[in-house]
């Protein structure tokens, strides 16, 4: 991918939460990732791995403990006041549960147009026209403008969430498990809509999910996250064939998907996930890795280049090119 097309870059992003006088929870540990214009970066991992904390830092909902978030050359973690508020128009989110994310007492027209009114980009009398435009964009009839969220299905509500995210013409949209609460057939339609809109508008998408098969199918690049660490980064199309980190392979081997070799054994990941409050020395995956060596228990592996476009954090691989 061309470096010049990176619109947002997380650099050594870390988030620690003080939970008691002597205890600190490390949710994200030294994460560096890039989002490219018109491309989708998928971030996948088990529940509790730090995905949601990471995206909350990107959207400035949560303040990082350390590190930088560079958007178009500016470190947005240092923004305050009106500058910080204005930055929200560039980075928008689509949430997991649209019923909870949409104000229940507001009509769809008002929900879609509220961001524009907040930023004083339209007048009240323009709301009907704007609502029609964005309802059409997400493939909903214009009469939905006067409905309330509870009068709509889950898939329709998520389309409204997409419309609300798009209305400010952001450069990056972050989907936080945006399809996990939907039926599979509806999920497919929402994914197809997002892909079409991305091509039309050249939007960057951060797709956060625990479904590694879905992530690999729709993402140009996939980052695999475990216990607050990025353990592997590679192109989505190569995930099934070239994934090499023991955790990534464990995720792939624990699910069934169409097109897989029917003779493939379905294995579930075993072992206890260490507490993020009491992280072990060395590799964070050591307690669940059957091939872990003494080195894995002593020194934490760095994310290094394995092949072009493919980076792995693992002592078991013949890697000698640090990032």
| pLDDT for residue 268 | 66
pLDDT digits (tens, 9 = 90+) for 139-148: 999 999 999 9
Instruction: Answer whether residue 47 is part of any domain.
Output: yes
Instruction: Answer whether residue 7 is part of any domain.
Output: yes
| CATH number of the domain where residue 211 is located | 3.40.50.300
pLDDT digits (tens, 9 = 90+) for 38-88: 999 999 998 889 999 999 999 999 999 999 999 988 999 999 999 999 888
Q: What percent of the chain lies above the pLDDT cut of 70?
A: 93
> How many domains in the chain?
1
Instruction: Answer whether residue 69 is part of any domain.
Output: yes
Q: What's the domain range around 12?
A: 3-90+170-242
Instruction: Answer whether residue 323 is part of any domain.
Output: no
| pLDDT for residue 319 | 57
Instruction: Answer whether residue 15 is part of any domain.
Output: yes
**Cβ–Cβ under 8 Å, residues 67 and 53:** no
Q: Name the stretches of the chain with pLDDT < 50.
A: 1-3, 321-323
| pLDDT for residue 202 | 94
Predicted TM-score (pTM) of this structure: 0.90
| pLDDT for residue 101 | 87
Instruction: Answer whether residue 318 is part of any domain.
Output: no
Instruction: Answer whether residue 86 is part of any domain.
Output: yes
Instruction: Answer whether residue 48 is part of any domain.
Output: yes
């Amino acid at each position: 991918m061309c470096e010049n097309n990176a619109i947002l870059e997380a650099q050594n992003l870390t988030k620690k939460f003080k939970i008691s006088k002597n205890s600190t929870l490390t949710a994200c540990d030294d994460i560096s990732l890039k989002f490219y214009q018109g491309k989708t970066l998928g971030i996948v991992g088990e529940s509790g791995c730090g995905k949601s904390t990471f995206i909350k830092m990107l959207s400035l909902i949560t303040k990082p403990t350390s590190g930088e978030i560079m958007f178009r050359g500016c470190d947005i973690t240092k923004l305050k006041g009106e500058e910080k508020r204005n930055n929200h128009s560039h980075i928008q989110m689509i949430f997991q549960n649209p019923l909870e994310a949409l104000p229940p007492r507001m009509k769809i027209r008002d929900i879609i147009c509220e961001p524009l009114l907040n930023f004083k980009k339209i007048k009240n009398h323009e709301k009907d026209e704007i609502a029609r435009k964005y309802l059409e964009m997400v493939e909903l009839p214009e009469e939905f403008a006067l409905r309330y969220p509870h009068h709509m299905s889950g898939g329709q509500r998520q389309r409204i969430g997409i419309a609300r995210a798009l209305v400010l013409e952001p450069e990056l949209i972050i989907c936080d498990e945006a399809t996990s609460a939907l039926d599979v057939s509806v999920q497919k339609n929402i994914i197809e809509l997002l892909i079409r809109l991305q091509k039309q508008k050249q939007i960057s998408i951060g797709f956060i999910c625990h479904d590694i098969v879905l992530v690999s199918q729709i993402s140009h690049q996939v980052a695999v996250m475990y216990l607050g660490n990025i353990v592997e980064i590679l192109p989505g199309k190569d995930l099934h064939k070239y994934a090499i980190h023991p955790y990534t392979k464990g995720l792939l081997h624990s699910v069934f998907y169409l097109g897989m070799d029917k003779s493939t054994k379905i294995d579930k990941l075993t072992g206890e996930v260490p507490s993020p409050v009491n992280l072990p020395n060395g590799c964070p995956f050591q307690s669940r890795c059957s091939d872990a060596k003494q080195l894995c228990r002593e020194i934490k592996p760095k994310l290094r280049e394995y092949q072009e476009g493919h980076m792995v954090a693992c002592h078991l691989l013949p890697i000698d090119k640090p990032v």
